[in-house]
Chains A and B, each alone.
Chain A
Amino acid sequence: MEFDLKTIEALAPDQASLSAASKLTKRSNWPRLEKNEALALMWGECQGSGSNPYRVVVDTGDHGYKCTCPSRKFPCKHSLALMWIAATVPTSFTPADSTPEWVNDWLGRRRKTTPPSTQQASGAGGKSIGEAARTDESTEVEDTAAVERREAAQRKRAEETRSSVSAALDEMDQWISDQLRLGLAGFVDNSGDRCRRIAARLVDMKATALAGRLDEIPSRLMSLRSEERPDAAIRELGKLVLLAKAWRAAPDDPEMKRLVSTSETREQVLASPHAVQVESAWEVLGEKIETRRDGLVSHSTWLLDIRSAAPQFALLLDYFPASAGRRSNAFTPGDRFDARLIFYPSRQPLRALVMDRKGKVSSGEWPAVASSETDPLATHLFCQDAAPWLTDCPVMLPPGAILLDDRGAPWWQAAGDPNGIALPINEAVSPTLLGIDLAATVALWNGSRLDLLAARSSFGRLDLS
């Protein structure tokens, strides 16, 4: 059963969804559009506002659909847009013999439903494709005075935000001084409440990103042993003071705005002349999915440039509400693909967006770790020189192994290292890993612990995230 526009009208939850979908029907939004007629399936990847593309699959037989976006409208605008393309430009879909693994996963989980009746399909309930298309086409022509008024209002809002953030930073500075005066022992013990209160103030005063970071301090402290917490508290609070000073020195700097108030949109990053673009082959090292105290889930996907001579990393970072449930991942650890990435402007570019994802790459080795490097954390020190407010830094460690201390806690140690340098690991590791020599390991160093992502060994690639 193919799609017609009436069916799409009937499936759409409201007129707004149809209007939003109409804007996504441009081919450029869809780096991938494929179909398998035998299985009555079509699927695609739509580049949404996040770092990862949304994956959409539609069953043309019974009009079942699934999208990885966090929208609570069903079907979402991405699913509607895919159906719309199928109805209007079916040649956009490349025939595929096999279905991708994520489509298979959905097929394996779903329960087939009966296709909606034609009566139901014919009742569009006041929604109109024509109107949606017209809304899209009709761009209102503003007069010069209106443009000036709008820009003046934007400038005024920006000025208000800046003064509000400035006041927020003053309040945070005072709060940090209070913590030092009252004692960090008490702060560590009550960090949950204390951080929550100041974070709420910062949100009110538009320093949202900084509030999110403050909110995470208690869990970062609690992941350490009690004797390590005061030092960690000094590091965390000291970095906040430093960040506040850096913002005051350059409040319009995109990196400072991102770290203190709000992040740029995808469009702003794409339009930024300072954003570095790198076209290369990338390997997905691993993912970290963490639920934050502010109710958001942060989904980090770490990539490694496998064509670079020295280790170069990229981070695809998305946030979505925890209430949206678990999202399926756009990448699988170990995947390798050619892509052009654009990095958010930064002193230490790391966070990136996929501009253009191409085909899969099968060959390519990890860059060699400099054997002359005596300090496995040299990359971290370099990162700190450039951006001392950063907390987590990806590092590629030289040959080594995982060992256990007397308490059973794991440590990474360099192979044959006469200095006995060892770095503690954040979480328990698989017992099997204790017997495997690691030729190279990629991990995140947060100043206290390693968070393992992946490693190479005589047993091949090891997923450790």
Chain B
Amino acid sequence: MSFFPAAQGTGRRAGPLPIGRPVPLRDADLTRRDRLARWGLLLAAAIPTAMLLLIAALMVAQSVPAFRYAGWGFFTGRVFSFGNLYVTKLQVQNGVPAPHGATYGAFTFIFGTLVSSVIALLVALPLAVGAVLALTERVPTRLQSTVSIFFELLAGIPSVVYGFWGILVLGPLLAAHLYPVLGRLGALVPFFRGSVGYGEGLLTASLILTLMIVPIIATTTRELVRGVPILAKEGALALGMTRYETARVVTLPYVRRGIWAAALLGWARALGETMAVLLVSGNLLNGLPANIFSPFSTMAATIVAMLDSALTDATGMAVHALAALGVVLLVITVATNLLGRLIIRRVAGGAVLPVGRGI
């Protein structure tokens, strides 16, 4: 028992979530050494924010020439080419010089990033929620931590290993067995029509991304589901509801908004993922994927794939163009991420969202 009512809420032992804040500090309570230390610590605490501002400022500054050169064409154009880097002839557009033939149209990459991450999210969301419900509601308590290890394994596997496995095993496997079946949908849905390819492309990348974001959504959902009041669940069961009805009527409504937030975080991760997509995307340049099975590319993967050759552009425009891709990516991911955190703060108070990969 605490003597001070104000402190009571902060001392709860159970549960993985931090509860409440310490009593606010007043300046009068601090000694001179305290105040000195506070300034020193503030310096350390400000570094992540300073890094963020530096990153944003530098990316914007780097991208300006490319945006000016390409104008709105940057968002609508489908051809992304550094031009002829071996000839000194320049081409001036909107007052900005670039190598002859340079065109910076990023539509295909923006399309690829959005579509692959949305497919990944649509598959991952029911998968993660279903898996977590099975884990928390039906798996015996003794076994739960053992089964959880697989979620951690999934979160811990490096993204290059996802890519390696994707090109070596998953892609060929899906192309041989699943995609021909899905291809029959082509009769109904145009995006499924045509060649099912050899396993490197939009759908394979999306499914790899799915596996990568499942742990993020699952970790948050698991914490939320564990926070559902046990009395409400027992009440529902006592009324004669089946466990499915209890999940539908009590558990899921209770955690719904939190799951939306987790989904946004997972989406942000899928948007920014680089290495796995780079390996399994098939790296299509200057064209939209013909169907859901065909090669494509994303903004993040293109930055990695093309930075090497961009460095040989003496005018520097190629690097600026990739920076412009980075800025678009940055704006989309940061907005998604912030929205997710905003929602969960309003829904779950101090609930911890995973920072990083959901380990």
A complexed with B = no
- Where the two chains meet, the residues of A that have a C-beta atom closer than 8 Å to any C-beta of B are none
- Where the two chains meet, the residues of B that have a C-beta atom closer than 8 Å to any C-beta of A are none
